[in-house]
Amino acid sequence: MNSILTACSDGDGPERKIQFLHGTTTLAFKFQHGVIVAVDSRATAGAYIASQTVKKVIEINPYLLGTMAGGAADCSFWERLLARQCRVYELRNKERISVAAASKLLANMVYQYKGMGLSMGTMVCGWDKTGPGLYYVDSEGNRVCGDLFAVGSGSMYAYGIVDSGLKQKDLTVEEACDLGCRAIYQATYRDAYSGGQVNLYHVHSEGWNRVSQSDVLMLHQQYQAEKA
Amino acid sequence: MFATQVYGDNGKMKEYHYTGPVEHRFSPYSFNGGTVLAVAGEDFAIVASDTRLSEGYSIHSRDSPKCYKLTDTTVIGCSGFHGDCLTLTKIIDARLKMYKHSNNKCMTSGAIAAMLSTILYGRRFFPYYVYNIIGGLDEEGKGAVYSFDPVGSYQRDTYKAGGSASAMLQPLLDNQIGFKNMEGVQHLPLSQEKAVQLVKDVFISAAERDVYTGDALRICIVTKDGIKEETVPLRKD
């Protein structure tokens, strides 16, 4: 089975190789008032843009969000399974699952498939008893807690913007949202594999809410006008 | 027929007079061509496909449509490897029956889409080489289109093209239905007549430039009154 797979999916196979959907630029950072999650919405299959309207933020439950980077099917399938596990936890323990526990469940699920070709780089963001939570989990087995992550082909460009914007302490919610939006926009500007729209979410103590969805073309015109 | 295909370094099929040693490898997949398209309207959905079945330089059949009726409100279009298309549609039909027996109701379009996603992901490590597009009516009677990748990633769209000529059709649909890259144009909702005419025009263009698309076009129009089928001839060369 393994040799058949390597024969078809990798190397110089037929011109029409099976193309799975890959991404992206996604970022999330903690700040005084919670967690900001910003993502682009482009999905590529090789060099073809398969969609400009992909939802890369997966709503696990009303207070937990997961992001999608890497293989689209891998991310949406495993995060949907995570949503199920979180619900089972809630029913068994009569309390909401913590972000640390949810991210650990996801990490352990995909670790069993390590080396088999899953491609998933996700951030689990939420608010629990200990405050805002942000974990990065990937298909290699990494699971790290942090205050800022950017994942995907456009992540380096996004880091540049957010790192400089976060220097000033105590951001307001609006400033933080603008920062996240700007970072994704800059990444779509320079990364060919990112684009479409910027989807922005804010996670606070009551849960998450969707702040905005802005087309990158509109943002470009807006920022150009501001420069002038 | 064994799919031992002879390929050169650049991935294209080798010419008939090869000049060096060639490694033959068995591939469980083969590419049978075909294009599928689905459009969702206010109260209708259209799923259309060409009817050519090809392999390499040959045409196996000129009458092999790629739209399959699932329920009275849902049609699926599958293109890619014909063997996997057939098996996948058989599995979907069986699962629909099982759902009907357990739950005493037909599956809705959204439920079929979610189910197909898990069926496809179940073969994550030996995928169904099929590009699926589901077209139908949702619970509110509005048109719905769900597009998939071979391993189950899916989303709801207004319109989507899949298969060999998808890269040619999709930009045209983006412009005509999505009004992309047009300024100062009124966004009129799409009527059923206009949508059907657009689908015909778009396939005629695809048949001009894609070798794997042609022969005939099968259109399935899904409305609350049922599914109507229409066949339109295309270039046969």
The predicted structure's pLDDT at residue A23: 61
pLDDT digits (tens, 9 = 90+) for A34-80: 999 999 999 888 888 889 999 999 999 999 999 988 888 999 999 99
- The Cα–Cα gap between B73 and B44 comes to 10
pLDDT tens-digit series, residues A96-110 = 999 999 999 999 999
pLDDT digits (tens, 9 = 90+) for B171-210: 999 999 999 888 888 888 999 999 999 999 999 999 999 9
How far, in Å, CA of A150 to CA of A136, rounded?
9
CA pair distance A198, A42, nearest whole angstrom: 10
What's residue B1's pLDDT?
Answer: 45
Phi-psi region of B93 (alpha: psi -120 to 50; beta: other; left: phi over 0): alpha
Confidence of residue A8 (pLDDT cuts 50, 70, 90): very low
Q: Provide the ipTM.
A: 0.84
Q: What pLDDT is attached to residue A123?
A: 95
Chain A residues within an 8 Å CB radius of B40: none
Q: What is the mean pLDDT of residues A136-160?
A: 93
Q: Choose the catalytic residue: A6, A24, A53, A122.
A: A24
CB nearest to B151's CB, from A53, A54, A73: A73
Is A53 designated active site?
no
**Chain B residue closest in CA terms to A16:** B31
What is the CATH code for B35-234? Answer: 3.60.20.10
What does the pLDDT read at residue A2? Answer: 42
pLDDT of residue B16: 64
Instruction: Kindly state the tokens that stand for A153.
Output: 């082909």
Instruction: For residue B150, list chain A residues with Cβ-Cβ distance below 8 A.
Output: 18-20
Residue pair B50/B35 in contact by the 8 Å Cβ criterion: yes
Distance from CA of A100 to the nearest CA of B (A): 26
The answer, yes or no, to whether the previous bond of B158 is cis (omega within 30 of 0) is: no
List the pLDDT tens digit at each of the 237 positions of chain B. 444 444 444 445 555 666 778 888 899 999 999 999 999 999 999 999 999 999 999 999 999 999 999 999 999 999 999 999 999 999 999 999 999 999 999 999 999 999 999 999 999 999 999 999 999 999 999 999 999 999 999 999 999 999 999 999 999 999 999 998 888 888 889 999 999 999 999 999 999 999 999 999 999 999 999 999 999 999 998
Identify the residue among B153, B169, B183 best suited for mutation to test binding to A, counting A beta carbons within 10 A and taking the highest. Answer: B153
Q: What is the per-residue pLDDT for A162?
A: 95
The answer to whether the Cα torsion of B6, B7, B13, B16 is positive or negative is negative
Name the β-bridge partners of A207: A204
Q: How confident is the model at residue A20 (pLDDT cuts 50, 70, 90)?
A: low
Q: Does A57 touch chain B (CB under 8 A)?
A: no
* B221 touches B230 (CB < 8 A): yes
By the 8 A CB rule, do B117 and B128 touch?
no
DSSP alpha helices (H): ranges in A40-194?
72-93, 99-111, 155-165, 173-190
Instruction: Determine which of A22, A77, A114, A199 to mutate to test the interface with B (most B C-beta atoms within 10 Å).
Output: A77
